[in-house]
Amino acid sequence: KRELTEDNLEKNFATNTLGTYILTESLMPLLLQTGSAEERARVVTVSSGGMLTNKLDPFDLMAENLSPFEGTMAYAQNKRQQVVMTEEWAKKYADVQFTSMHPGWADTPAVRTSMPGFYEKMKDKLRTVEQGADTVVWLAVSNNTAATDPKSSGEFFQDRQIVWKHLPLAWSKSEQADVDLLMDKLNGLHNQFK
């Protein structure tokens, strides 16, 4: 069921996309001030492989046209938005290391409740929460070149490796105009909440 916040924002979007955007942009002055050439500040966004087949749709941020509303599809769109934001921040803020990552399919309450059929079929193969957290922690604190190299800023990781952001033949790559529209809309919403 599509639910709105008291500010009339679709809840998945407000939490996963706009919240990530506002938090990151609000922390940028501090991140830019505290980072150095030797130890760049880092931003790691936990996304999901669920976005791999989902193309960015900057025209329906509030999932108004998703009929019937499907929470897993709204979530996948939000996770695509996070990966796009990460790529754009990496271009905009060259002195900060930006990465996004997929924790793998982990046994979490969200997986159990939002995808019960998937959970029942896969529960013996799901990762533990600790296994799912491994790459996010590694990206945040490791001195490994893959995690710190400015050339990997904006990349998408899984299992401590850069992986594809788009599956072959999924047609999930976006035009730069769509990316720019997303970022403009997010900036406008951010300004409303300052």
Q: How far is residue 9's CA from residue 106's CA, in Å, rounded to a whole number?
A: 28
Give the number of other CB atoms < 10 A from CB of residue 120: 9
Omega of the bond prior to 68 within 30 degrees of 0, cis? Answer: yes
- Which residues carry out catalysis? 75
Pairing of strands 155-158, 161-162: antiparallel
Cβ pair 162, 139 in contact under 8 A: no
Q: How far apart are the first and last CA of the chain?
A: 29
Cβ pair 101, 57 in contact under 8 A: no
Q: How many helices (H) and strands (E) does the chain have?
A: 8, 4
